[in-house]
Amino acid sequence: TMVEMRSLLARRVREKILTPEKSEALKDDFLIHADKEYLVVLLDTNVLTIASKLLDQHILRALDAIQLACALYARDLLDEPLTFLSADNNLLLAAAAEGFATGNPNNHP
């Protein structure tokens, strides 16, 4: 998720939708939010194995499969329902198929 957010912000700067200063402020805000609200899952062999299986089951890019695999791992570790957020419709479909409630931030102005 951290890499995906940095990628999004960098792309928006290249597209001149965001200034570098606004991008930096959004990155800082996101990191504060993530530190309080996210469980960081280490990328290890188990997570990569789950991600590989997800690629066989869903239409996903590699990083999206890793992100979903981390969410699956976190859900099992916490043993509670989680909401999976993404602006990528294929990733949201895969997350829903894996039993997550989903949300698209683009649907919230």
Check whether 2 has a pLDDT greater than 80. yes
Residue pLDDT, tens place only, 36-83: 988 889 999 999 999 999 999 999 999 999 999 999 999 999 999 999
Which residues lie closer than 8 Å to 94 by C-beta, 6 or more apart?
Answer: 54, 57, 58, 59, 60, 64, 68
pTM to 2 decimals?
0.82
Categorize the per-residue pLDDT at 109 as very low, low, confident or very high, splitting at 50, 70 and 90.
low
Mean pLDDT of 32-37: 92
Residue pLDDT, tens place only, 4-15: 889 999 999 999
